[in-house]
Structure 1
């Protein structure tokens, strides 16, 4: 009887432990679903930014510090729930706060948000995902196992991987938090400031559209393609930085004893 009670207690504790590990991930999922159902993500669009930019700029001008703090926490929260349109918010920051202030606060907020979802992934479902990962994730895991810091730095600099994926995968290999924070902070600086500078010059793009189609800004009908704001030169520059980031790994592998001679 006593042994049965002890076994039942262990099973209950095991179930509670599993739920406790999943609780952070479930909370993030609940926030994402709630935001989607309430239509919050719909507000983050280029047309809305164009329509309301003057009102937003006036509020920021009157309460610059408060607006900066609010933006910081909103951005960090959206990154933490893996919101897919964070780059547009970076453009918004450049438009409202200027390229330097907007880019700086975005780097800090993105690093905080990325670290939050990284910790959630590592504590909640890292072991499960590693066992069930497909070939794409498995290749990324192999890269992290070889040289976590430089590999993450490469993934941050290379504009070819979704930001939220790169936040979660390091949790599969229990990457040290300090290395994750440092590689994320350094790796997102070029791309973040590139988008912030795009935002700082967005008014001139809108003005050109207004000349071709008067009243389009107020009506939200200006035909500005967000992808057109990112030039080929910008992508090539970021790719070059990504290649530079993995040079230490390549050199180390080339100089390994097995490759000598």
Structure 2
């Protein structure tokens, strides 16, 4: 049964990607339709918010390319405050659903495909699961979709996974939403994140691990 469900999921994702017209998922396409989307949002604000949220959850759950562009669109349509709420909840719900898919449907495949990575993740989760997950969300050692897949094989609870993911993804979400407010001026991803900003995210991501090492060292000295 699991194999059949896995194949069905694979077929759905593949069809979604194949049926999309060329260059549908691109910054240029987003900019081309920006004025129409803004008008639609002005006429139907609640419907636009619901459609955006549902789209984000779907993209995040199935790991369909385009989450970054959707975040930029969220900044252009909804602004920083409402956009942060919609994107953070959409991304976190999608990540949690993807984690559950991995746990109950893709477990055998993930275990075989990513055995070496799972060993590292299990070690990190055993030492300090919350801080380890928080660090991965702030400055992911693995891509977004891979974190969801790997965490599905750990014993992390759904509630903790949701809460830590929500908080950990907020800084990057705010940066992209803020850039989305100037969507028409963007030319590439380089306009959003400078090398300095990327380094900052990396350093922030390692802070939870560094604090744990410092606390452990202090504890050893006391004993």
Q: Which residue of 1 aligns with 2:209?
A: 246
Aligned partner of 2:58 among 64, 73, 77: 77
Counterparts of 1:144 and 1:167, CA distance in 2:
14
Greater alpha carbon shift after TM alignment, 176-185 vs 142-151:
142-151
Task: Please state if 1:226 is matched with 2:189.
Answer: yes
Native 8 Å contact 2:110 2:149 kept in 1 = no
Task: Please state if 1:32 is matched with 2:13.
Answer: yes
Displacement of 1:199 in angstroms is 0.3
Native 8 Å contact 1:35 1:41 kept in 2 = no
Native 8 Å contact 1:153 1:187 kept in 2 = yes
Native 8 Å contact 1:95 1:200 kept in 2 = yes
User: Structure 1, unaligned stretches of length 5 or more?
Assistant: 1-18, 207-223
Counterparts of 2:99 and 2:144, CA distance in 1:
11
1:147 is paired with a residue whose SS is helix
Native 8 Å contact 1:157 1:188 kept in 2 = yes
Task: Please state if 1:178 is matched with 2:159.
Answer: yes
Q: Which residue of 2 aligns with 1:201?
A: 182
* TM-score scaled by length of structure 2: 0.89
Which structure's CA Rg is the greater one?
1
Q: Which residue of 1 aligns with 2:133?
A: 152
* TM-score scaled by length of structure 1: 0.77
Counterparts of 2:3 and 2:22, CA distance in 1:
25
Post-superposition Cα deviations, 1:25-64, rounded to whole Å, max 9, x if no partner, equal 4443222111012126842210101111111111111111
Aligned-residue CA RMSD in angstroms?
Answer: 2.3
Counterparts of 2:87 and 2:99, CA distance in 1:
18
Taking the TM superposition and a 5 Å limit, the aligned residue runs for 1:94-109 are 94-109=75-90
Displacement of 1:132 in angstroms is 5.4
Q: Measured at CA, do residues 117 and 40 of structure 1 come closer, stay the same or move farther in structure 2, by a change above 3 Å? A: farther
Native 8 Å contact 1:44 1:89 kept in 2 = no
Counterparts of 2:137 and 2:21, CA distance in 1:
27
Taking the TM superposition and a 5 Å limit, the aligned residue runs for 1:161-172 are 161-172=142-153
Q: Measured at CA, do residues 231 and 27 of structure 1 come closer, stay the same or move farther in structure 2, by a change above 3 Å? A: same
Native 8 Å contact 1:159 1:238 kept in 2 = no
Aligned partner of 1:130 among 111, 117, 131: 111
Taking the TM superposition and a 5 Å limit, the aligned residue runs for 1:110-121 are 110-121=91-102
Q: Measured at CA, do residues 136 and 88 of structure 1 come closer, stay the same or move farther in structure 2, by a change above 3 Å? A: same
Displacement of 1:74 in angstroms is 0.6
1:57 is paired with a residue whose SS is helix
Counterparts of 1:78 and 1:117, CA distance in 2:
10
